[in-house]
């Protein structure tokens, strides 16, 4: 996401994905009897129910049983009337279930809203009458911030192992970060944010975790900031060790994978990946965190951040970070080497565009594809 305005044109240029005999993994339809409209997120609620939830960019969340033979999905929530949809990067973009969802019924969404154009983080509750439906009237807006342009909305939300809600915020859009949001710690744009939704303080619908980098500062720095210097972090995830991984969509040359750590500056718009964004202006690199992996325009144009694979279906990938490019359809696995470096391996080139990844309660990995299907990862040649 971040290059979607050119997606239709690019579709005409991309040849069908080749079949490689040497491929170790493949992606197969997980629920062949279901289809979705622009699925951008897949989440398991963590309540032991065996259900999956798919977010459609048009404003709908659908729920269904995690069964390959499932033939129906139900509308869990429909908020299409509340969201902006004029631009291909707007819409309903993220879903996160509260860690205590099984008992409190709370879940959170991230969407772009119009008039004025803004990002909304809101809490909803499950219907008291039907666990397969949310109560659309239960919305409680937790956080809003204005979007100066229609693109680079970020969109991912997730609860970390610390119980706090993490939020991906793009730099506000246009191109080149014209307002310098990535490097400004006085704005929420171009950041990974972290808030405590279990408490409210200072007139807010949330609280600031006490160990946030700028908690309690008196310099006007936004206390919600966890990390900064990002362009359009399109999908982040936590692994079982609590490490935070993100894909950050590039401008003209580089797509990058970052390991996000508290208080660090990931360079945008001083850097694009490991390159100076504006070489003529110089780019002091001191204090900037470089990507753990990156690739250029010969490999793709729009990174989709993924997950460290922790399932059982593909033992070969155990512990490797799997990610993709939305436009070139390539899929990689990133291995951490003993010396602390990282080595990417191209796994395959799919026939579909991966907008997002998701995992179920067994940690198996799924692809949300813009052909309307959900795919799952499995070992190649599996009968």
Domain holding 86, by residue range, is 4-379
Check if the beta carbon of residue 376 is closer than 8 Å to that of residue 67: no
Q: How far out from the chain centre does Cα 96 lie? A: 11
241 Cβ contact partners less than 8 Å away, ≥ 6 residues apart: none
CA–CA dist 314, 186 (Å, integer): 44
Q: Which is more confident, 5 or 235? A: 235
Query: What's the pLDDT tens digit per position in 38-96?
Result: 999 999 999 999 999 999 999 999 999 999 999 999 999 999 999 998 899 999 999 99
- Ranking 18-22, 189-193, 322-326, 364-368 by mean pLDDT, the lowest is 18-22
pLDDT band at 1 (very low <50, low <70, confident <90, very high): low
Comparing 16-20, 205-209, 283-287, 292-296, which segment has the lowest mean pLDDT?
16-20
> For residue 281, what pLDDT band results from cuts at 50, 70 and 90?
confident
Question: How many structural domains comprise the chain?
Answer: 1
**If we measure between CA atoms, which residue out of 312, 309, 300 comes closest to residue 333?**
309
How many C-beta atoms surround the C-beta of residue 113 within 10 A?
A: 18
Alpha carbons 193 and 20: distance in angstroms, whole number = 40
In which residue are the tokens 């922790």 written?
310
Mean pLDDT value across the chain: 93
Predicted pLDDT of residue 83: 97
pLDDT at 280: 84
Gap between the Cα atoms of 151 and 174, Å rounded = 7
pLDDT tens track for 338-367: 999 999 999 999 999 999 999 999 999 999
| CATH number for the domain harbouring residue 365 | 2.120.10.30
For 127-185, what is each residue's pLDDT tens digit? Answer: 999 999 999 999 999 999 999 999 999 999 999 999 999 999 999 999 999 999 999 99
Complete DSSP assignment for 196-260: BTT---TTSSSB--TTSTTTT-SSS--TTEEEE--S-EEEEEE-TT--EEEEE--SSS-EEEEEE
Residue 296: C-alpha distances to residues 60, 245, 283, 299, 300 (Å): 34, 19, 20, 6, 7
Bigger pLDDT: 381 or 351?
A: 351
Which residue(s) pair with 195 in the sheet?
Answer: 165
Residue 376 has pLDDT above 50, yes or no: yes
**Angle of CA points 245, 359, 272, to nearest 5°:** 25
Are 258 and 248 contacting, i.e. CB atoms less than 8 angstroms apart? yes
| pLDDT for residue 16 | 39
């Amino acid at each position: 996401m971040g290059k979607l305005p050119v997606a239709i044109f690019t579709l005409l240029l991309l040849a069908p994905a080749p079949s490689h005999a040497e491929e170790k993994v493949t992606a197969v339809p997980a629920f062949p009897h279901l289809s979705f409209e622009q699925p951008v997120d897949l989440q398991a609620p963590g309540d032991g129910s065996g259900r999956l939830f798919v977010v459609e960019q048009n404003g709908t969340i659908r729920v269904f049983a995690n069964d390959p033979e499932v033939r129906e999905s139900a509308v869990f929530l429909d908020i299409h009337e509340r969201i902006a949809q004029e631009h291909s990067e707007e819409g309903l973009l993220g879903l996160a279930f509260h860690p205590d969802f099984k008992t409190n019924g709370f879940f959170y969404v991230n969407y772009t809203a119009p008039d004025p154009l803004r990002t909304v983080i809101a809490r909803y509750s499950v219907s008291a009458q039907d666990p397969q439906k949310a109560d659309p009237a239960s919305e409680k807006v937790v956080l809003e911030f204005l979007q100066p342009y229609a693109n680079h909305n970020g969109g991912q939300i997730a609860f970390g192992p610390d119980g706090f809600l993490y939020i991906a915020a793009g730099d506000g859009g246009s191109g080149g970060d014209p307002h310098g949001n990535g490097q400004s710690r006085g704005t929420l744009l171009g950041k990974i944010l972290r808030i405590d939704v279990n408490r409210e303080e200072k007139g807010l619908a949330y609280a600031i975790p006490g160990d946030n980098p700028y908690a309690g500062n008196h310099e006007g720095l936004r206390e919600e900031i966890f990390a900064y210097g990002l362009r359009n972090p399109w999908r982040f995830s936590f692994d079982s060790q609590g490490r935070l991984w993100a894909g950050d969509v590039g401008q003209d040359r580089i797509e990058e994978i970052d390991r996000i750590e508290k208080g660090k500056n990931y360079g945008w718009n001083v850097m694009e990946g490991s390159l100076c964004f504006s070489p003529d202006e110089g780019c002091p690199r001191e204090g900037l965190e470089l990507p753990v992996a990156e690739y250029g325009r010969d490999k793709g144009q729009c990174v989709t951040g993924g997950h460290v694979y922790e399932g059982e279906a593909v033992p070969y990938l155990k512990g490797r970070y799997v990610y993709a490019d939305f436009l070139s359809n390539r899929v990689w696995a990133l291995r951490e080497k003993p010396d602390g470096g990282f080595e990417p391996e191209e796994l395959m080139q799919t026939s579909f565009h991966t907008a997002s990844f998701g995992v179920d309660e067994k940690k198996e990995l799924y692809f949300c594809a813009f052909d309307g299907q959900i795919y799952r990862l499995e070992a190649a040649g599996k009968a």
